[in-house]
Each structure stands twice: as C-alpha cells, then as structure tokens.
Amino acid sequence: MYDSKFQEFKIYIVHFTHLARDALHIYAGLLAFLCVAFLDKRQLKSVWALVAVMFIAMGAELLDARDDFINYGYWRFDASLHDLLNTIFWPLVLWLIAKFKILK
C-alpha cells in the first residue's frame, strides 16, 4: 500500500500524540481557527479564520482523496465528509457564538 509523505506525516502525528485521528482533526481545526483569529483584528468574529479552516480542511481532504484513488481506486467520500465535519464543526460554533453574541 502506497503512503504519501502527507500520510506518513499524519501517521507520525498520531503515534507522537497518542490521539485518535478524529481528535486530531478537531484540534487542528481549532488551532488553525484560533491562530488566524489571533492575527485578525476582529478576532473570533473573523470570517477569514473560518475560511482558513475550511481551506485547510478541504486541502487535506483533497490530498487524502488522491491517496484513496491510488490505494483503493476510488474516493472514500464518506470518510472525507466525516473528517471535514470534525475539522470545521467547533470553529464554526465558536464563530457563531462570537458573531451573534450568544454569550455575553
């Protein structure tokens, strides 16, 4: 089975942190969101922070899709959708809370 450098990096991170892949998607999404929000003036209300998370998640899933086509001959769309939702969910929740001032 073919492992790209991206897959090898993901496997290394899983072994290094001893976390499940789902948890790593959640943490990666939150980390990207908070880093971009920190750099933006609007902070958690920053649309750019949310867009950055979406682009990072979609880019990672495109790399996974490429590896799926190489290894399996087809794209495991359900796994990619699951990963996208895991990555984007909590940044979206934080953005909605900040945007609509749910917590005061």
Per-domain residue ranges for the chain? 41-99
The Cα–Cα gap between 96 and 9 comes to 32
Whether the CB-CB separation of 101 and 37 falls below 8 Å is answered with no
For position 104, what pLDDT does the model report?
A: 66
For position 4, what pLDDT does the model report?
A: 87
| CB under 8 A, 24+ apart: contacts of 43-49 | 43/98, 44/94, 44/95, 44/97, 44/98, 45/95, 45/98, 45/99, 46/95, 47/95, 49/91, 49/95
Judged against a pLDDT cut of 70, whether residue 61 lies above it is answered with: yes
For position 41, what pLDDT does the model report?
A: 82
Q: What is the pLDDT of residues 69-80, one digit of tens each?
A: 999 999 999 999
